[in-house]
Structure 1
Amino acid sequence: MKKKLVVLTGAGISAESGIKTFRDSDGLWEGHDVMEVATPEGWRKNQELVLDFYNKRRQQLKEVQPNLGHQILAELEHDFDVYIITQNVDDLHERAGSTKVLHLHGELLKVRSIQNRNVILDWKEDLFTGDLDENGHQLRPHIVWFGEDVPALEEAIEITESVDYFAVIGTSLQVYPAAGLIAYTDHKTPVFYIDPKPIAIPNLRNKVVIISKIASEGVADLREHLKSI
């Protein structure tokens, strides 16, 4: 039976493919205040701005490709039972070939009804005011905005609780509740932490292997570490 590897990925791995990210230090995402484009309040205040913002992100996604980090994670499925839990809303893990991907913060290529969060549709083109579900309710980006619940969190916790290896790639471990997943691993589970500027992980009893590299280089090192275990 293959050993189970859970990988939590963040913006760092997508950034290497050219996807712009925002930094909490300035609160800007592609020049926009995140509170204007990534909160329920922003949606209520200016729906057109929010739709235009995500339309541009959707178009940008078509112009980028998975990088070596995504590809190596997909290749690891040959030797491990790999689950990707990602904070990213792009589809680069899937396009690289990963088959078990859980999106904590939603998916850019999906939309959902404002009336029923369980009505989710695939959506690859622009979304406009007047695009409705079958019951006549406006559709919105299928993104978990700041201040909203994370519906996939319970599943992510279940996946994390029974794992042989846990890896964290390209995330500052500052965004909760995703950052708290590592606490659900057994203290005997080895943790690999890949980030060019790793931070201290408080109150963690696990053995942590720190790989201070960008995602694509660090994932290559992760592969070698796993082979040697």
Structure 2
Amino acid sequence: MFELIEDQITKFKKIVFVTGAGISQESGIPTFRGNDGLWRNYDAMKLATIDAFYDNPKLVWEWYNERRRNIFQAKPNSGHIAIAELEKYAEVVVLTQNIDGLHQKSGSSKVLELHGSIVKIKCSVCDYREEILTEITNLPPLCKCGNILRPDVVWFGESLPQDVWQNAMNFASKCDLMIIAGTSLVVSPANTLPIYAKQNNATLIEINPENTTMSGEMNLEIRKTSAESLPKLVSLFKNKL
């Protein structure tokens, strides 16, 4: 599976993972696309917008409460665990589009959440932020200032937190190996991260059962799932280092 890079393993000191919904789907968390993206006959991609929130904040919060319940019950899979284990052999940074916190649960110590976190909420007007690990009642919840609270996530059409994005670009630009796992690379600007790595002559590996828009730019394409592939990569590091 990883034979093409086996002789390069000792050269990979800085590894960056770019992860997406595919790796979380293997833990039972639905994706936005396909049949998984339907909730009570609503298109999830249309619910994850600021316009949908202001049009019907109670509906959007009901959806996020259900997502929170699902995510809180989910456990890291062997793909998440393998990424955390790689920290024994190299400097590993995870740049994730997922909001579920499963990378942190698996033990990864350097995780940049590009699209925020479902456990965090913030005021739609003031600077109030909080982390809540229980179900949110009295929907939509209100801030002390009287305005509506919202999930502290990046919705379609919103900008990424600039400090997080700047750090992500910096890590991508300096890595020796970038592994793109479980993401279709259609969401901007996260889909530009492999370009920064390529400019640094990093080796690019794509792990995805399906082709993506950037498959042709990869040094190695693995058409299997993250849970199946990544433990084998860890074994390779164990044997070589």
* TM-score greater than 0.5 by the shorter chain: yes
Q: Does the 8 Å contact 2:115/2:153 carry over to 1?
A: yes
Structure 1 residue 115: Cα displacement: 1.0
Contact 1:36 1:50 in 2 (8 A): no
Amino acid at match of 1:191: L
Q: Which residue of 2 aligns with 1:157?
A: 169
Q: CA deviation at 1:99?
A: 0.8
Partner in structure 1 of residue 181 of structure 2: 169
Cα deviation 1:71-108 (Å, max 9, x = unaligned): 01011111111111111110111110011111111111
The one-letter code of the counterpart of 2:194 is I
How does the TM-score come out when normalised to structure 1?
0.88
Q: Which has the higher helix share?
A: 2
Show structure 1 runs of 5+ residues with no match. Answer: none
Unaligned 5+ runs, structure 2: 1-11
TM-score by length of 2: 0.84
| Misfit runs of 4+, over 4 Å | 224-229
Tell me the distance in 2 between the aligned counterparts of 1:95 and 1:9: 15
Cα distance 1:134–1:3, how it changes in 2: closer, same or farther (>3 A)?
Answer: farther
User: How far apart are the structure 2 equivalents of 1:78 and 1:225?
Assistant: 13
Whole-angstrom CA distance in 2 between matches of 1:221 and 1:173: 23
CA contact (8 A) 1:192 1:222 kept: no
* Corresponding residue of 1:122: 131
Whole-angstrom CA distance in 1 between matches of 2:36 and 2:70: 20
Distance 1:29 1:225 in 2: 39
Q: 2:207 aligns with which of 180, 194, 201?
A: 194
Partners of 1:224 and 1:108 lie apart in 2 by 32
Match of 2:75 in 1: 65
Instruction: Decide whether the 8 Å contact of 1:21 with 1:29 is kept in 2.
Output: no
| CA shift for structure 1 position 225 | 5.1
Question: Quick one: which of 27, 33, 49 aligns to 1:39?
Answer: 49
For this pair of structures, how many residues does the alignment match? Answer: 225
Does 1:148 pair with 2:161?
Answer: no
| Alignment correspondent of 1:88 | 98
Q: 2: CA distance between counterparts of 1:101 and 1:184? A: 18
Show the counterpart of 2:227: 216
Q: Which amino acid aligns with 2:214?
A: I
Structure 2 Cα separation of the partners of residues 17 and 65 of structure 1: 6
**Other structure's SS at 2:73 match:** coil
Alignment partner of 1:18 is 2:28: yes
Shift of residue 159, structure 1, vs aligned partner: 1.5
Contact 2:215-2:221 within 8 A present in 1 as well: no
Structure 1 contact 114–137 (Cα < 8 Å) conserved: yes
* Deviation (angstroms), 1:155: 2.0
CA spacing shift, 1:91–1:27, aligned 2, 3 Å: closer
1:77 paired residue number = 87
The answer to whether the 8 A contact 2:79-2:230 is kept is yes
Q: Does 1:53 align with 2:63?
A: yes
- CA offset at residue 226 of structure 1? 4.9
Q: Give the secondary structure class of the aligned counterpart of 1:8.
A: strand
Q: Distance in 1 between matches of 2:36 and 2:160?
A: 21
Shift in CA distance, 49/130, structure 1 to aligned 2, threshold 3 Å: closer
- Asked if the contact 2:58/2:140 (under 8 Å) is kept, the reply is no
Q: 2:235 and 2:219 mapped to 1: Cα distance?
A: 16
Distance (whole Å) between structure 1 residues aligned to residue 236 and residue 17 of structure 2:
14
Quick one: which of 190, 193, 196 aligns to 1:184? Answer: 196
The RMSD of aligned alpha carbons is 2.4
